Amino acid sequence: MGMSTNICGVRSPDEKWVKRVKAWKACVEAGISPPEELQKYFDDLECWTPEIDKGPEICLIDTECCQEYNMESTFGFEIELSKLPEGITHIIFYNGW
């Protein structure tokens, strides 16, 4: 069993995000599949949590701002803050097995 590290940037929720999350939750509560456009919107975000008070999560691995850090027996990631995508207000680091 291996472990992987993931890094996501979180944007502030805008009006468009809030409306789409409300639509998603309304569909789930009604027991119906969300429309294809809504499914595609959320599927295009590799890391996401559809919450109104927290905007979309964008996977930062393999982007311009995120580089692997490997020095002797130390492995990790280096984030260049000046190259973060526009609107990122938080960064989430998490491990998965």
Question: Residue 44: its pLDDT value, please?
Answer: 65
- What's the start-to-end Cα distance of the chain, in Å? 7
Residue 30 banded pLDDT, cuts 50, 70, 90: very high
Number of domains in the chain: 1
Write down the pTM of the prediction. 0.68
Rounded to whole angstroms, the Cα distance separating 67 from 76 reads 9
Supply the range of the domain harboring residue 16: 4-96
Rounded to whole angstroms, the Cα distance separating 83 from 96 reads 25
Strands, E assignment, 12-81: 57-59, 66-71, 74-79
49-97: pLDDT as tens digits: 577 788 888 889 989 999 998 888 888 899 999 999 988 999 999 888 8
